[in-house]
Chain A
């Protein structure tokens, strides 16, 4: 069955430090992959997406993610974290199922940023 795993429930980093949030998926073919961010009290916003081609994708707010087929991973990275990046981050996998486009979300990783 298709699934998305985000191994880290909570991560704390210092402002200015680098960040990597992990995401692993289970799917038989190459899925569509997404990272969403949820700021406190807000809905989710798309950070970036991967469909095909270059495995390193750039997103908004200085984020990037790398698709590694051999590891079934799509990790999110940022070289220097800002206090405003504190939020919850969701990885999602999209695929066709039963005739409709299905999106499965991971459980989320909550990021705290220390000054």
Chain B
């Protein structure tokens, strides 16, 4: 089983609908992240969480919200989806606050299409 699990893996929805992407991890890491990947743009950070009580906005948080339900669970919500939120979304974890470890552990991605 994957250490970082994302559900759903694929979702097609319509403009204006609410959508939630879920992420769970078995790595025991405190830090969790949501990234968005668009062709030619690489990965951009949406939100990140140091622990259950510490949630922070990333580069492109507008139109998104998150919930850290437990150390192992971090959900991303689109309250009213729009077509330019069509993208591949990744959840990632890391073990500590120090950049020197540098390693993020990624889920397999959730492909979202907004019609």
The residues of A with any CB-CB pair to B shorter than 8 Å are: 4, 9, 32, 34, 36, 41-46, 49, 51, 90, 94-96, 100-103, 105-108
Contacts and interface: CB of A to CB of B under 8 A. Distances in A.
B106 A101 contact: no
Contact of A43 (B99, B100, B103, B106): B106
Contacts of A45: 106
Interface of B: 4, 40-45, 48, 50, 56, 90, 92, 97-100, 102-104, 106-109
A46 B103 CA distance: 6
Contact of B43 (A9, A41, A42, A105): A105
Contacts of A46: 102-104
A85 to B, nearest CB: 18
A34 B40 contact: no
A106 B41 CA distance: 7
A3 to B, nearest CB: 11
Contact of A41 (B40, B45, B92, B108): B108
A36 B109 CA distance: 15
Contacts of B48: 100
Contact of B108 (A42, A95, A96): A42
29 contacts: A32-B99, A32-B100, A32-B102, A34-B103, A43-B90, A43-B92, A43-B109, A44-B43, A44-B90, A44-B104, A45-B106, A46-B102, A46-B103, A90-B42, A94-B102, A95-B99, A96-B99, A101-B97, A101-B98, A101-B99, A102-B45, A103-B99, A103-B104, A105-B42, A105-B44, A107-B40, A107-B41, A107-B42, A108-B40
Given A94-B99, A101-B97, A101-B99, A44 B40 contact: no
Contacts of A49: 102-103
Contacts of B42: 4, 90, 105-108
Nearest to B102: A49
